[in-house]
Amino acid sequence: MEKKVENVIIIGSGPAGFTAAIYAARANLEPLMIEGYESGGQLMTTTEVENYPGFVDGIMGPELMTVMRKQAERFQTRFITKNVTKVDFSTKPFKVWVDQDLYEAKTVIICTGASAKYLGLESEKRLLGRGVSACATCDGAFFKDQEVCVVGGGDTAMEEANFLTRFAKHVHIIHRRNEFRASKIMVDRALKNPKISVIYNSELAEVVGEKGVTGIKVRNTETGDVSEMAMDGVFIAIGHKPNTDLFKDQIETNDVGYILTKGKSTYTSVSGVFAA
């Protein structure tokens, strides 16, 4: 029996993946989405989403992803809730493996996104979505008149800290060195903000709290001394890592792993493979 060649395989879920699935399905391409074990992307760890059109009172991140998935399903998108383990884009049809199972496709759309980098603390993981976040624009409004901290020293950390001052009573930037690596204009903007203070030469040692964040423990990187301070929210801003290890040596990426596309299109370096 000849193996079926799919018209479109979508790798990854989240808003980009479900949008691709809806459009492909409505075009009668019968897409197959390999959504991964953790379907829904970064919004699955976000609480209320208030900046997505159509939901006047906001919507919980996981609920929004569920609705998107149902919409794709309504148009007969097929799903495999497993991770892709290997790809081969060197010849057509393109080959995509899920464990030992091989799938072939005329077209592949990559929607694997990026993952926020975290510190790797057990307490950080346990309280993720319950006071610990990696997205100020997603969750900042929930900390109105509260005390929060931002961990990091780059442009992202400065931007997050400045944004959080719209809501928080005070923002503490925790940086492991005595100088920031962020651009001067971003640093100056943060340091001039009266609602921002900096804890230099320090790192987050532990997030304190049971059902939610109540405080943090901070370790001085020079002395090793650990101090505790009350805190309502913790924002990790140490960058993102693109989920593209799977495509190494298959398509062109930049130095940090983001897929290179042609101009403002979604075309990658391999004809028939797209990135969204």
User: In the prediction, which pLDDT does 51 show?
Assistant: 84
Whole-number Å distance between alpha carbons of 10 and 36? 11
139 in catalytic set = yes
Whole-number Å distance between alpha carbons of 231 and 216? 6
Q: What is the pTM of this model?
A: 0.75
132-148 confidence digits (pLDDT tens): 999 998 899 999 999 99
pLDDT mean across residues, the chain: 95
* Domains within the chain, CATH numbers bracketed: 5-115+240-275 (3.50.50.60), 118-236 (3.50.50.60)
190-217 confidence digits (pLDDT tens): 999 999 999 999 999 999 999 999 999 9
Token representation of residue 154: 């780059």
Q: What number of other Cβ atoms are within 10 A of residue 36's Cβ? A: 21
Q: Which of 111, 138, 149, 232 is catalytic?
A: 138
Interval 244-261 mean pLDDT: 96
Residue 98 has pLDDT above 70, yes or no: yes
Q: Which of 57, 88, 101, 139 is catalytic?
A: 139
Do strands 215-220 and 226-230 pair parallel, antiparallel, or not at all (unpaired)?
antiparallel
Res. 47 pLDDT band, cuts 50 70 90: low
Taking phi over 0 as left and psi of -120 to 50 as alpha, with beta for the rest, 70 belongs to alpha
* SS3 of residue 34 by DSSP: strand
User: In the prediction, which pLDDT does 1 show?
Assistant: 59
* SS3 of residue 172 by DSSP: strand
Whole-number Å distance between alpha carbons of 152 and 118? 11
**Partner residues linked to 246 by β-bridges:** none
149 in catalytic set = no
Determine whether 31 is exposed, middle or buried from the number of CB atoms within 10 Å of its CB (0-12, 13-18, 19+): buried
What residue has token string 């479900």? 18
Taking phi over 0 as left and psi of -120 to 50 as alpha, with beta for the rest, 83 belongs to beta
Whole-number percent of the chain with pLDDT over 90: 89
Task: State the DSSP H helix or E strand holding residue 190, giving kind and residue range, or none if neither.
Answer: helix 184-191
